Amino acid sequence: MERRRRALSAPLFDTFANSAAVQVFEGVLASIYDGTLRPGDPVSENDIARRYGLSRTPAREAVQRLRELGLVETSAGRTSRVVLVTEAQLRHSLVVWQALMAAVADEVADRVDAADLELMERSAQEFLDAVGRSDAVAAAQANYDLFDVPVARSTNPMLVKTVALTVHVVRLGGLSLPRWIDGRLLADAQRAFVDALAAGDADAAKAAVGAAAGFRLVEDA
């Protein structure tokens, strides 16, 4: 998946002041997504600087970029923490994500190749496996991987950049919600999206994106 990762990572790094800040940003972002830093956990610039053996300047820049992505928030007391995404915030973000992915589908439905489809199939299976073992971190990663494969086919740099800047709150939302999103319904939407792209059907792909964005929470036990 290196082609996809390069396409989606580059827009996040193109305005960093130095490579040290990029290193810190990537490390903290990975810690958020692998569950080491959980929603609500503190994010200290001093602690980050010490961990990486750097000055506070790149740590401050990295944390600021995380704020810009909506992943870190700072209270009036200047204490930073990983954002606790609410259901309302997630749904609002998904409205934007759905519109962007519809634009992606219109552009690339006839350009997705067999290698892309193989990557998406693999991610779909990883998502099902993660849901089966109630692994929210792995499920969020697999879902992110699947829907981002076609983005790498886009030749519209502004579209790619906007997707890269938008998906993070959506992804973090899957880790922040107190109840599980209905994994089976999302898996069905993933399946429909892959099938639509395999057929080169942009309209069906957009319908599948809409189904994925219109998530339903699992009923409380």
Backbone torsions φ then ψ of 77, nearest 5 degrees: -85, 10
- 117: part of which helix (H) or strand (E)? helix 114-132
Largest CA-CA distance found in the chain, in angstroms, rounded = 53
pLDDT tens-digit map of 88-123: 888 999 999 999 999 999 999 999 999 999 999 999
- Going from N- to C-terminal start, the domains of the chain cover 2-82, 87-213
pLDDT tens sequence for the chain (221 residues): 555 455 555 566 666 767 888 889 999 999 999 889 998 999 999 999 999 999 999 999 999 999 988 899 987 667 899 999 888 888 999 999 999 999 999 999 999 999 999 999 999 999 999 999 989 889 989 999 999 999 999 999 999 989 988 898 888 888 877 666 888 899 999 999 999 999 999 999 999 999 999 888 776 44
Closest CA to 22 of 12, 34, 37: 12
Instruction: Tell me the DSSP string of 46-94.
Output: HHHHHHHT--HHHHHHHHHHHHHTTSEEE-TTS-EEE----HHHHHHHH
Q: What is the pTM of this model?
A: 0.86
The answer to whether the CB of 150 falls within 8 A of the CB of 113 is no
Residue 153's contacts (CB-CB under 8 Å, 6 or more residues apart) are 104, 107, 108, 111, 112, 116
Do residues 189 and 212 make contact, with C-beta atoms less than 8 angstroms apart?
Answer: yes
| Architecture of the domain spanning 87-213 | Up-down Bundle (1.20)
The topology (CATH level 3) of 2-82 is Arc Repressor Mutant, subunit A (1.10.10)
